[in-house]
Amino acid sequence: MVYKTTGDVLVSYGRAEMVPYLMTYQDVGMACATGEALTPLLLSFESVGSDPDKLATLVYTVAATCTESMALEEELRYMRAVKEGRVNEAQDARSRQKELAEISARRQYEAYRRSFVEFGEADNGKCPRLRNDFDELVWMIGQISGVQSLLNDATADTAVGVPRDVAAKVERGLACLDNEKWWGVPRGGRAALWNILPMLKPANADAWAELERATRLGFEQGVRLPSALYAISAYSVGDDQRVRRAIREFANNDKNLDPNYAMIDSIAGMLIKGISDRMWTEATGKRTPYGNLGTFWDDTRKSSESTINIDDLL
Partner 1 sequence: MRYGKALIAAAASSLLLGVSAPAISAEKRTLCVFDIIGTSGDMYNIMRDYRTAAIEQGYDLELKAYTDENIAAEDLKAGQCDAAAITGIRGRQFNSYTGSLDSIGAIPNYDALRTVVQVLASESPRITPNLRSGSYEVMGIAPMGAAYLFVKDQAINNVNALAGKSIAVMEYDAAQGKMAASVGMSPVMSDITNFAGRFNNHSVDICFAPVMAYSALELYKGMEPNGGIVDYVLGQLTLQVIARHNKFDSEFAAWSRSYFFNSVFDRAMRIINSANNEIEDKWWIEIADQDKLRYDEMMRDARIELTEQGIYNKDMMSLLRNIRCRLDAARAECSDQRE
Nearer to partner 1, 63 or 156 (CB): 156
Nearer to partner 1, 239 or 254 (CB): 239
Residue 300 DSSP label: P
Query: Does position 157 bind partner 1 by CB under 8 A?
Result: yes
- 277, 247 Cβ separation under 8 angstroms: no
Minimum Å gap between C-beta 234 and partner 1 is 10
Query: Does position 291 bind partner 1 by CB under 8 A?
Result: no
Query: Does position 86 bind partner 1 by CB under 8 A?
Result: yes
φ, ψ for residue 27 (rounded to 5)?
A: -90, 100
- 31, 22 Cβ separation under 8 angstroms: yes
Q: Indicate the SS3 state at residue 106.
A: helix
- Answer for which of 196, 254, 284, 296 binds partner 1 (CB under 8 A) is 196
Query: Does position 125 bind partner 1 by CB under 8 A?
Result: no
- Name residue 282's amino acid: E
Residue 85 DSSP label: T
Taking the C-alpha atoms of residue 301 and residue 310, their distance in angstroms, rounded to an integer, is 19
Binding segment (CB under 8 A) for partner 1, from list 51-59, 153-161, 221-229, 286-294: 153-161
Burial class (CB in 10 A: 0-12, 13-18, 19+), 208: middle
- 39, 66 Cβ separation under 8 angstroms: no
Binding segment (CB under 8 A) for partner 1, from list 2-10, 135-143, 157-165, 204-212: 157-165
Minimum Å gap between C-beta 189 and partner 1 is 15
Query: Does position 206 bind partner 1 by CB under 8 A?
Result: no
Q: Indicate the SS3 state at residue 21.
A: helix
Q: What is the CA radius of gyration of the chain?
A: 21
Strands (E), the chain: none
Please list every residue from 222 through 251 that binds partner 1, using CB under 8 A: 235-238
- Answer for which of 63, 64, 82, 174 binds partner 1 (CB under 8 A) is 82
Query: Does position 87 bind partner 1 by CB under 8 A?
Result: yes
- 109, 162 Cβ separation under 8 angstroms: yes
Distances (CA, A) of 291 to 109, 235, 288, 294, 295: 34, 22, 8, 9, 9
Query: Does position 175 bind partner 1 by CB under 8 A?
Result: no
Binding segment (CB under 8 A) for partner 1, from list 80-88, 134-142, 173-181, 213-221: 80-88
Query: Does position 161 bind partner 1 by CB under 8 A?
Result: yes
| Interface pattern 15-44 for partner 1 (x via CB under 8 A) | ------------------------------
Nearer to partner 1, 238 or 291 (CB): 238
Minimum Å gap between C-beta 238 and partner 1 is 4
- Name residue 261's amino acid: Y
- Answer for which of 45, 78, 116, 182 binds partner 1 (CB under 8 A) is 78
Query: In sequence order, what are the beta bridge partners of 123?
Result: 126
Tell me which residues touch partner 1 (CB under 8 A): 78, 82, 84-87, 90-91, 94, 151, 154-155, 157-158, 161, 163-165, 167-168, 195-199, 201, 235-238
